Structure 1
Amino acid sequence: MHFITGGAYNGKRKWVKDHYAAEHYIWLSAYSSDALTKPLQNYIPSLAVLEGLEEWIRTQIDSAFSPYTLRQRVMDQLGVWLEWEQANSCRRLVIIGTDTSKGIVPMDKRQRYLRDVTGWVYQDIVAQAERADVIWYGIAQTIKNDYI
């Protein structure tokens, strides 16, 4: 799995499209209201991109969930995609999430909760990722690369 993060409107999408110049891929975007659904084994090309992870997390916020429960719920959903990737060595999963940790800590409790859970989920993803890049102003900085 390859995790891409960086600030909003910093060129993450363009960088991924340039880096993975694949003809056939599936691109699910939370910004287009795509659901984070289970992959259909036979109908997905070898590249799957999940964009807007922080938005998928936001849509699942429920005051009844503890931060740990929400974090685990998101990781369980992503786990299905990780299994899809691991089932075939030709498959690649790319996850894009906007960095929400910079700037002023929100005063609103719900916004702080979202920011905290998003940060924890990103840590979990990077721990499992083979590669992680931060994109700032269209320039990538690799922060993890287990491919080497």
Structure 2
Amino acid sequence: MHFITGGAFNGKKAWVKNYYRIERHLDYQWVSSYENENLPEDLSPFRKKLLFLEGIELWVKGILLKTDVEECRRRWDEKLAKWQCWEDAAPENKVILIGTDISKGIVPLEKDERAWRDVTGWCYQDTTQIADRVDLVWYGINQQIK
């Protein structure tokens, strides 16, 4: 699993596309919360080798709208475990998670927005723990931190 994070509009998507050379790679699926696509629950039907999941902070927010903070994090950890199983099923399978860092800047006044910021940070920490590689992308430049 590969996790990429960084600021909004800082070149994460372009960096990922270049790093994985997806213009030459035909065996991938791109799923984006920014395009209102649903987070895949079951990866068994995926026949592609690379699965890009973009905008995970919005999917975390969607889970949080239906649950509390603890349940949201538990559900996120379940998803990570399922994705890890899919990766383990074939050595060429890889999940690439892309999420905007929403932890910097002004702390939101609204309780729900603060909860989203907090739980997203915890979900990113959980993602970082399970990921083989983690990159920060700022202004189109990556820094590998794991």
Per the normalisation by structure 2, the TM-score is: 0.92
Query: Which consecutive residues of structure 1, in runs of 5 or more, have no partner in the other structure?
Result: none
Counterpart of 2:115 in structure 1 is 113
Q: How do 1:37-48 residues align onto structure 2 when only pairs under 5 Å count?
A: 37-48=40-51
Displaced runs of 4 or more, over 6 A: none
Counterpart position of 2:12: 12
Q: Matches of 2:118 and 2:46 in 1, distance apart? A: 35
Provide structure 2 residue ranges, at least 5 long, that are not aligned to the other structure. Answer: none
Q: Partner of 1:86: helix, strand, or coil?
A: helix
What does 1:1-148 align with in structure 2 at a 5 Å threshold? 1-21=1-21, 22-62=25-65, 64-65=67-68, 67-144=69-146
**Deviation for aligned residue 1:114:** 0.1
Residue 143 to residue 40, structure 1, CA distance change in 2 (3 Å): closer
Q: TM-score, normalised by structure 1?
A: 0.91
% identity of equivalent residues: 45
Displacement of 1:74 in angstroms is: 1.7
Write the deviation string for residues 61-85 of structure 1: whole angstroms up to 9, x where unpaired. Answer: 23752x2211111221232222111
Q: Tell me the C-alpha RMSD between the 2 structures.
A: 1.4
Deviation at 1:119, TM superposition (A): 0.1
